[in-house]
Amino acid sequence: MEELIEKAYILIEALPYFKDYYGKTFVIKYGGSIMADEKLKKNLIEDITLLKYVGINPVVVHGGGPAINKTLDRLNIKANFVDGLRVTDKETMEIVEMVLSAQINKEIVSLINQMQASAVGISGKDGNLIKAVKKTFEAPEKDLGFVGEVDKINPKIVEQLIEDGYIPVIAPIGVSEKGETLNINADSVAGELAVALKAEKLIYLTDVDGIRYDPEDEDSRVSKLTFAEIDEWIAKKKIKGGMVPKVKGCKHAVDSGVLRTHILNGLVPHPLLLEIFTDQGVGTMIIKE
């Protein structure tokens, strides 16, 4: 009996959060680095479905860098990166789009649908969701090809899906003015989308427990980080690689009215529930000051 009552207390602890977040939009970036483990994937899909059933509107933006690398490798095409962004020639772009839009996106959609929620998978091409511009570089050797950055988000399609009760699942692909398909870093898309949707929260799920003072030291996670600290840590290379677009996405979102932004470990079970519905919170929260 005691154990049962304990369960009731756990639910009651979550009550203020259920109330505060009812009807609010949360943008969740699902990183490619945490997609390998099937059990964790299932846990995460359960979390997202639970959010929907308690009245929150989750919007999923997914990555898939490792899966793209795997397919390129199978085709004997070398993956190249400059400053963490994939050099994307025409052939690579076709593979990126295939893996992100056809493979990963639809897998997430079908897992959510198996949980008796309804997900719809789209890319930035659908409903003109992501207008992008080709990234330009000062030096020709840094030309990344079909890599884009978000120029404008037209969130109508996503808002409509939310209104109709669906969980939107978004692949980070945009279209240029000229109609070119562009490969965009998924972290940047998540940040821009959170702003455009006026989301309550932006959450990055990745393969570390949050931001660390020393990326190699597991015990150096900080629970909060300010804008000034972010700038300093990037300059000193304490924040580097794939973490840079995440903290930049958080900064941009907070600056534009998103109330809370978090970086969480997607390699532990149920990180979303722990962060959203418990008093302790996990990971790192980005705050202005």
Ligand X SMILES: Nc1ncnc2c1ncn2[C@@H]1O[C@H](COP(=O)(O)OP(=O)(O)O)[C@@H](O)[C@H]1O
Chain residues in the site for ligand X (CB under 6 A): 31-33, 63, 65, 187, 206-208, 211-212, 215, 238-243
Q: Interface with ligand X2W includes 172 (CB under 6 A)?
A: yes
- The binding site for substrate comprises 64-65, 86, 183
**CB 19 to ligand X: min, Å:** 31
Count CB atoms within 10 A of the CB of residue 37.
Answer: 12
Query: What string marks each residue from 110 to 149 as x (binds ligand X2W by CB under 6 A) or -?
Result: -------------------------------------x--
Min CB(33)–ligand X separation in Å: 3
Q: Please, which residue, 50 or 182, has the CB nearer to ligand X2W? A: 182
Two tokens, residue 182: 């562009």
> Least CB distance from residue 65 to ligand X2W, whole Å?
3
- Cα dihedral sign, 86-91-96-97: positive
Phi first, then psi: what are they for 273, rounded to 5°? Answer: -65, -40
**Closer of 162 and 208 to ligand X (Cβ):** 208
| Cα dihedral across residues 30, 78, 123, 177: positive or negative | positive
3-class DSSP state of 167: strand
Rounded to 5, what percent of the chain is helix, strand, coil?
45, 25, 30
Minimum Å gap between C-beta 123 and ligand X is: 18
Q: What is the smallest separation between the CB atom of 34 and ligand X, expressed in angstroms?
A: 6
Residues numbered 13 to 52 that lie near ligand X2W (CB under 6 A) are: 31-33
Q: H or E element: which one contains 30? A: strand 25-30
Binding site members? 64-65, 86, 183
Dihedral angle over CA of 93, 118, 107, 249, nearest 10? 50
Task: Compute CA distances 251 → 29, 266, 270, whole Å.
Answer: 15, 21, 25
By beta-carbon proximity to ligand X, the closer residue of 126 and 209 is 209
- Indicate the residue among 25 and 206 with the shorter CB distance to ligand X2W: 206
* Planar angle of CA 179, 126, 38, nearest 5 degrees: 120
Residue 249 near ligand X2W by CB under 6 A? no
Instruction: Give 117 or 211: the residue with its C-beta nearer to ligand X.
Output: 211
Residue 65 binds ligand X2W, judged by CB under 6 A: yes
Residue type, 253: A
Binding site for ligand X2W (CB under 6 A): 31-33, 63-65, 68, 85-86, 96, 147, 172, 183-186, 242
